[in-house]
Every structure is written in structure tokens, then in C-alpha cells.
Structure 1
Amino acid sequence: MKKPILWHSLLNFVGYGIPLMMGVIAIPWLLHNMGAERFGLLALAWAFTGYLTLLDFGLGRAMSQQVAKYANHADSEKITRLFWDAHITIAGFGLVGTLLILAVVPLAITHLPNINSDIHEETARALWFTALMVFPTLLLNSLNNFLLALEQFTWLNVLKVPLNTLNIAIPVWVTAYPDSQLFGILDTTCLYLLIGRSGFILVMFAVCAKVSPAIMQLTTFSYAYPKRLLTLGGWMTVTNIVGPMMTYFDRFFISVLLSPQAVATYTIAYELASKLSAIPNALTTTLAPVFAKDCDNQQDNIATIVKSIQWLSVIFIPVLLLMPMFITPLLQWWLGIDDVQVMAASVHWLAWGFYLNAIALVAYTYLQYIGRPDLTAKLHLLELPLYAFVLWLCLSTLGIKGAAIAWVIRAGIDMLFLLATVYYLNRPLQQSHATL
């Protein structure tokens, strides 16, 4: 694998890893000092703003794919027009989406389920602030994709670390220092998160202007690219909707077929195993603009995919083989309980699933950034009912461990489908090699 890819992947891993470690350290403290109810509501606010990035209808990633392609030809005029077309459209979607969410907030406040009356008022205010967070989050996500397309990984991670640590640092600060609380703990935290994310838009825009000064030199404006971006982004949005559905399907099925307590057991196992995803995320963030720039260079791209899979296997397989030796004592130490056998087995199964998912993510990134998000979307639509059936079957017969096994089966099917699709698209290359 090329040295720049390895170096940029290492930078990205650090960018993912620092906030991750801060979370590991701070979350038990927050859970104890905020209380389980407030912390649970804060976690829902994080999930809500993260999931609703789909309101950009895939335009951020579509812009990233197009900008990376034009950056390879140093076409600053097209890059500039793409930047402004995408961000004006995303801002419009974000504004409309925010207004619609704000219109629903009063109804949501009147139907808050099982909320302690002592924190009902601060939860209501937190809902308003969380709804307002959607707009800056969309713009931050898009600006992040612009820097990714230009392979500005140093800047990207310099910005990513403080931005991602806001989610942890702000609630720790608000909880530890009561004088900082304008209202209650939860609503003050959400307000400061809103202010922090809004301020970061200016910082990230300034960095974009620094690395690509042409975006500040637009002399005439013509709204030229939205149709192309919306076509690409529409398919990306399908994946952005279906993907999280499959991610959270298991918890919904567990709550229905088993119990809410079983959901907690499985969630802890899933969250622990999911930390392994930092490795492929760091790698594929680096590969995305590489695939977009060299989308016509099939031979180099296939070599990069194969090398990436080899490196992921070298990293993952030793960990997976050694995991049975350390996962049980680790869980006993972390949770302070002895009966963790079911959870330990689930972690081990899920870890194998994340290995398969890591390989699939390389193929997925390739298809997305050569301009074929329609293929990944169609594959995920086919997988959705299949996964629902396998999950129901495994849960009914094997319990919590069955959910983990079903996730591994889904990850394996996803990997095989995506690799087969990559192979199919590159058949001319395979046939040319066969004739040599």
C-alpha cells in the first residue's frame, strides 16, 4: 500500500481514537453524576442529530466524490461552483428540515414518555436546542466532506478532534461546574453544544478557504450542478436510511422478542465490539478521494482494494483469535460483575462481524466514490428483509447470542455482495489479464 495512504490512515485513526478514548474515560463519570435518565436523554440527542444528517439527501458525499475527481485535474472553477451549489442547496434543505422539526417539538413535549417530572422542563428546552442543532450539523458534515475530497487529512483531524470531543467535554464541564448552568444540566448542555457546533462552522469554512482559495474568488454565480449532485445524493440517501435501520434492527427485535434488560446486555456488547470500526473508518476515509480521482484506473484501484483487505486481516485476525482469552476478565473489570458469559460470547461474535464489515466497507467506499451509489443502495434494500428474517430466526432459537450471530451473517452477506459487485464492474480488467 502507498505510504501516503498509510500515513493518512494513521492520522485519521488518531482523529477517531482521541475522542473515543475520552468517551471511554468520561462516560462512566457522566452516567454517575448526570444520572441514568439525563445521560440516556443526552445519548438520544446525539443519536438524533447524527441520524438526521440524512436531511442533506446525500449531497455532502456526492459533492465530495465530484470535487475529488475535479481536484485530480486541478479544475478550480468547477470545484468552486460545486462547493457553493452544494452548500446553498444543503443550507436550504437544512433550513426547511429544521423548521419542520421545530413545528413537531411542541407535540413531542406534550408526549414525553416516562420522564421524571423533576426534569420535564429541562428536557423540553433540550428538545428545542437539539432541533436547532440539525442545521449546523448538516453544514459541518458537508464542509468536512469538502476537506476530505481535497485530501486535507491533517486539517481534517486537527478540526475533528475538538469538534467530536465537544459531545463529551461540554456535558462534563456543565456537570462538574454548576455555576456554568444557565438552566438545568441537560438543557444547558444542549445549548452549549448548539453554540459550539455553530461556531465551528466559521472555523471549518475558514480552513476550506485557506486550502482552496478559489472558493472565495467566485465572480459570477450560476446554479449548475444540483441535478447531478441530487442524482448521486439520492442513492446515497437510500443507503443512509437503510444502513442505520439495519444497525438498530437488532435492538428493536430483542426488546420485542426478549426483554428491555436483554437490550442493555446486547447494547454493551455491541458498543464494545464496535470500537474496532475505528480502524476501517480511518482507512476508508483516506481511500475515498483516491478512488474518486482514479475512478478510470481500474488496475490501481483493484490493487489498493486487495492490499487494504490484506492489511485489515493482518490487524483484525490476531485480535479475534486472542479475544476469548481476555474478553471475559475485561468485561468483569469494566462492569464490576461476574456473570458476563453471554455478553462475552456476543462481543466475540460481533467482533468477527466487524471484521467482515471492515472488508465490506472498502468495497462500499469504492462503489460510492466511483459514482455508483445506486449499486450499494440496491444491495442494502435487498439485504433488509433477508436480515430481518435471519435476525428473527436466530433470536428465537439462540437468544441474545443469536442476535450477534445474525449480525455476523448479515455482515458476511454484505461483504460477499459488495465484493462480487466490484469484481463484476471490473470484468474487462480480469479478462484482459486472462489473455496475457
Structure 2
Amino acid sequence: MHISAVHKSTPGRLLARNALWNIMGQTAPMLVAVFAIPRLIQTLGTARFGVLTIAWMVVGYFSFFDFGLGRALTKVVADKLGEKKEHELPHLVWTSLGAICLLGTAGALVLLSGAHLLVHSALKIPDALRPETLRSFYILAFAIPIVTVSTGLRGVLEAHQEFALLTAIRIPLGIFTFVGPLLVLTFSRSMVAVVVALLAARLITCVAHFLACIVKMPELRHGLGFEWSSLRDIFHLGGWMTVSNLTSPLLVYMDRFMIGALVSVTAVAYYATPFEMINKLLIIPSAMMGPLFPAFAMNSARQDHARSRLFFWRAVKYIFLIVFPITLLTVAFAPEALNFWLGQAFAQQSAPVLRWLAVGILVNCMSVVAAAMVQGYGRPDIAAKFHLSEVPFFLGTLYLGLHWYGILGAAVAWTLRVTLDACLLFTAAARLSADPHPAWRRVIPATLATAAALLLSTFSFPLVAKVSIVACLLLAYAACAWCLLDAYERVLVMTLGRTHPVPTSTSVPLSAALSD
């Protein structure tokens, strides 16, 4: 292992390339799902497909039994690389993986002991499917330690910026998650056989992650050992990350539960459909944060706050430039789009909701960068405390919003919550990185201009007039976006689609190009 290679992995061009790898890894399975899910529903039937969906959910949710140690391991390994302490990594990695495996085993025991209660009491599963579902849950329990260990191994590879390799592993797994059941169903209609195939895929993926770590860190072959004292910092980081990871789903999904309880189940459909549609935009910042998180951690270890600030504001800018035009089009044409997709009755209920949620997603996408910096700087407790403090605020505004305005009030409450979260995280990130300029000075001008453009696009105009107004707004956006790009980025934009590289005179690391 050579620290110089790792050091070179943090300039902006490589970070951008790693973000693209991340996007590919997340979107390729989604494209397969679009075609596979209708076939699965047709072949399995609605009830069995519901069980399969629950199986996917159980594996994903119980993966939190790593208690944030996978993410914490990324941070600590990146710190050691930044401090040139690679010799400490083998024992650290093996110790962390051992702890993660034990925690995953505990999760498996929890599922084994609670499977009967889930199948026969908590979940409304048809009587004929309960024995088959119970056996499937017992098999799924063995997947939990496999998934948690894979999370830890992935954290090690992320710290080394090996996102091309991670994508090569993630895409086959994601595709097999949907295609695998179809292959099994050609010779068996048993859900147990489907779950066994999914378990085998997870095991193969875990082995692939392990072999990749061995190749990247040959020292692991000879450095097998355990130092339990090194777990203190990892558990401290991972514990707070777990608090945040457990609170976030509550903040994300509580609106739908309360709509179902206070309004109606039909209203949940009118709300959840636009939410799930616009929520897919979070793939963009999530893909960028994979490579940025270890970069922030490494810069924190070196006390290189200037580089962190450059990466931070550059990432915020890129996300805004990508997501804003999508948000503008969504806000402007929400009624027309929903009417075309789902019909006029659905559009009348969901279009106002979609508009508010689109604004909230734009804000939330940018706050992901701040959350990555806060965690990368070793302060996951800050984000966790913010999320805990937001729960009563969100529940209160959500209740009042539903009482006064129905599902539109829920969308407004959610947007207000993510806006508050973004303000808190941006302030914390600016302080941690010793930013000499207050965060609000950078954000407020763009916020006001964005709000004005989005507000203008919501006015009731004839379709031709609306198209003309939105076209003018997009032209103004393009002009502003061009002004926001520096000379190096403009060269990159102009060379998009060409086969020859950027001229050598401008081929400098993005971190250098960021200098004011």
C-alpha cells in the first residue's frame, strides 16, 4: 500500500469520477427493476411479491446491526491513511470486522427469535403463505451477519477510493436482486428457493468484497490480530451514526404513517407516489458523498480545512446545478406530468404536494454534503443531535399541517423540516472547517433567486405561456451557471462529448482549480 496513491485519490477529478461510478452502481439495478418488477408480480402474484418485498426490506433494515461501524471504519481508515499510519490498519480492520460480525450475529438471533411474531401477528400475511414466509425469514436471518460484514469491507474500500471496484461488485448484486427471483421461478414457485438464491448472492458479494480488500491491503494476510482498545473510537463514531441512521427513517416515513392514521389510506397513495418519484433525486448527492466522505476524513486528519472547504462548496454547487433545473421543471409542470401519468383525479390531489416536495428535495440534496462533512470530521454526534431535536418539531408541524391543509400540509411540514436540518448542518460544517465566511452569506443570495424562479413557475398560465416562461428561466439559469463555473470547468464542459482529453495546460487537479 502506498500513501501517495491514496493521496492522489482526493483531487476533484477523481472524486467526480468516483461519484459517476457510484451513480452507475445505484441506477443500473433501478433500470432492471423497472422491467423485472411487473414480471415478478405477474409470476409470483401480489401476495407472494409482497412477501418478497418484505424480505428485501428486512435484509436492508436489519443491516443497521453494524451500529454504524462500517461508516465509522471508513472514517478511521481514511484518517490513518492521511496520517501515514498504514501499519496500524491490519489489526484495526480485523478487530472492526470481528465486532461487526458479532453484532450481525446478534441481529440474526433477534430475527430468528422474532420471526414467528412477525409472520403470525405483526404482518398481515395470508394464512396459506405463513409457513413458507416463516421458513424464508429463518433463512434471511443468516443473511444479516453477511450483510453487516460486507458493509465493513465496503467501508475499507471506500476509504481507499476504490469506487470503480465497488461498482463492479454492486451492479451484479443489484441486478441479481431482481433477476435472481425470476431465474428461480422458472423451476420453482417456492419463496424459500427465492430467498436461498438471494442469500447465496449476498454471500458471494461478501466474498468479493473480502478478496478486493486483500488485494488492496496485502498486509491483511499477515496482520491477523485483534486490539479491542482500538474499538473505542470506532464505537463512539458508529454509535452516533446509528442514532442518526435510526432517526432519519423516522423523519422520512413518519408523514405517511400519520397521514394513514389522521386522514385516510387513500390519501397516503396521493402523498407517497409523488414523494417516491421525486425522492429518487437523492441518488445524485448520495453518489457524490461516497467518495467525498473519506476525502473529508483524510483532510480532517491533516487539518487541511482549506481543501475540505473547496470540496464542500464545489459539491454543493454541482448538486445545485444538476438538481435545480429538474426541480424547476417539476414545480412548473407537476399538474401536466401527473395528469399524463396517473390521470386528472390523481393530479388534482398530488400536484401541489409534488411541488412542495420538489423544493424540499432540492434543499435536502445539498444538505447531504454538509452531513458528509460533519461525519467525516469525526462529529456524527452533531448530526444525530440535530435529528433528535427535529423529531418533536416535525411531529408538531406535521400534525398541524395535516389538521389544517391535509396532505399538502404534510408536504409543507416535511419541506420545513429538511430546510431546518440544512441550515443546522451548513452552520456546523462551516464551523468545523473554520470557514472565514458565514454560511448564510454564500447561501442566501442563491436561495432568494431560486425561490423567486420557483414561485414564478407555479402561477397559473396557459400551457404555451408557461413553457415560454420556463424556457426563459432555464436560459437565465444557464447564464448564471456558466458564470459560476471557473475556467477549468468551462473547458471541461466544452470538451464534453469529444474524444480527446482536456488540454494539458488546464489539466490540473480540481482542488487547485478551485482556488479563488
Query: With structure 2 as the length reference, what TM-score do the two structures score?
Result: 0.78
Match of 1:284 in 2: 289
Bigger mean CA deviation after superposition, 127-136 or 83-92: 127-136
Q: How much has 1:116 moved relative to structure 2?
A: 2.1
Indicate the residue corresponding to 2:133 in structure 1: 123
Match of 1:394 in 2: 401
Residue 173 of structure 1: how far off its partner (Å): 2.5
After superposition, the Cα gap between the structure-2 partners of 1:170 and 1:346, relative to the gap in structure 1 and judged at 3 Å, is farther
State the alpha-carbon separation in 1 of the partners of residues 102 and 160 from structure 2: 24
Q: Could you say which residue in structure 1 is the equivalent of 2:267?
A: 262
Query: Structure 2: which 5+ runs fail to align?
Result: 1-10, 439-516
Tell me the CA shift for residue 427 of structure 1. 4.4
Tell me the residue number matched to 1:349. 356
Q: How does 1:105-144 map to 2 (within 5 A)?
A: 105-111=115-121, 113-144=123-154
Alpha-carbon distance in 2 for matches of 1:203, 1:73: 28
* 1:271-324 Cα shifts (integer Å, max 9, x gaps): 111110110011111211110110111111112111111111111111111124
AA paired with 1:269?
P
Between 1 and 2, higher relative CO (CA 8 Å, sep ≥ 6) is seen in 1
1:111 and 1:194 map into 2 onto residues whose CA distance is 25
Give the partner amino acid of 1:62: A
The 5 Å alignment of 1:231-270 reads 231-270=236-275
- Residue of structure 2 equivalent to 1:31: 41
Q: Say whether the 8 Å CA contact 1:316–1:355 is kept in structure 2.
A: yes
Deviations for 1:1-44, whole angstroms, at most 9, x for unmatched residues?
Answer: 82112211111111111112222232233334333322223222
Conservation of the 8 A alpha-carbon contact between 2:309 and 2:435 = no
Could you say which residue in structure 1 is the equivalent of 2:461?
none
Does 2:66 align with 1:56?
A: yes
Q: Report deviation, 1:53.
A: 1.8
Distance apart, 1:165 and its partner CA: 2.2
Which of these residues, 85, 107, 118, is aligned with residue 75 of structure 1? 85
Q: Are residues 349 and 34 of structure 1, via their aligned partners in 2, closer, same or farther at CA, if it must alter by over 3 Å?
A: farther
Deviations 1:197-247, CA, capped at 9 Å, x for gaps: 022211110011111111112165433311121111111111011111111
Output one character per residue of 1:99-153: Cα deviation in whole Å (capped at 9) or x when no partner. Answer: 1221122333332543223322222222222222212111111111111111001
Instruction: Show the counterpart of 1:99.
Output: 109
Contact in 2 for aligned 1:81/1:224 (Cα 8 Å): no
Q: CA 1:40/1:333 → structure 2, altered by over 3 Å: closer, same or farther?
A: farther
The answer to whether the aligner puts 1:16 opposite 2:44 as a matched pair is: no
Q: Report SS of the residue matched to 2:229.
A: coil
Secondary structure of the structure 2 residue equivalent to 1:151: coil
Is the CA contact 2:66–2:100 (under 8 Å) kept in the aligned structure 1?
yes
Corresponding residue for 2:418?
411
* Distance (whole Å) between structure 2 residues aligned to residue 426 and residue 141 of structure 1: 28
SS at the partner of 2:228? Answer: coil
Tell me the distance in 2 between the aligned counterparts of 1:117 and 1:6.
Answer: 51
Point out the more displaced range, 311-320 or 215-224.
215-224
Q: Which amino acid aligns with 2:194?
A: T
Q: Is the 8 A contact 1:30 1:39 kept in 2?
A: yes
User: 1: CA distance between counterparts of 2:56 and 2:224?
Assistant: 39
Are 1:202 and 2:202 counterparts? no
Greater shift, 213-222 or 146-155, is seen at: 213-222
CA distance, structure 1, for counterparts of residue 90 and residue 268 of structure 2 = 47
Helix, strand or coil for the counterpart of 1:371? coil
Alpha-carbon distance in 1 for matches of 2:340, 2:39: 16
Change (3 A) 1:264 1:40: farther
Q: Could you tell me the TM-score, scaled by structure 1's length?
A: 0.92
Distance change in 2, residues 1:407/1:81 (3 Å):
same
Bigger radius of gyration among the two: 2
Name the structure 1 match of 2:315: 308
Give the Cα separation in 2 of the matches to 1:147 and 1:219: 18
Name the SS for the 2:125 alignment partner: coil
1:165 matched to which residue of 2?
175
Corresponding residue pairs, total = 426
Contact 1:276 1:351 in 2 (8 A): no
The 5 A counterparts of 1:410-429 are 410-427=417-434, 429=436
Bigger drift between 360-369 and 133-142 goes to 133-142
**1:213 counterpart = 2:218:** yes
| Change beyond 3 A, Cα 1:187–1:341 | farther
The answer to whether the 8 Å contact 2:331/2:354 transfers is no
Bigger drift between 340-349 and 138-147 goes to 340-349
Distance 1:172 1:346 in 2: 36
**Is contact 2:101-2:145 (8 Å) kept?**
yes
RMSD of aligned C-alpha atoms?
2.1
What letter is aligned with 1:396? H
Which residue type is aligned with residue 138 of structure 1? T
Q: Is the 8 A contact 2:90 2:224 kept in 1?
A: no
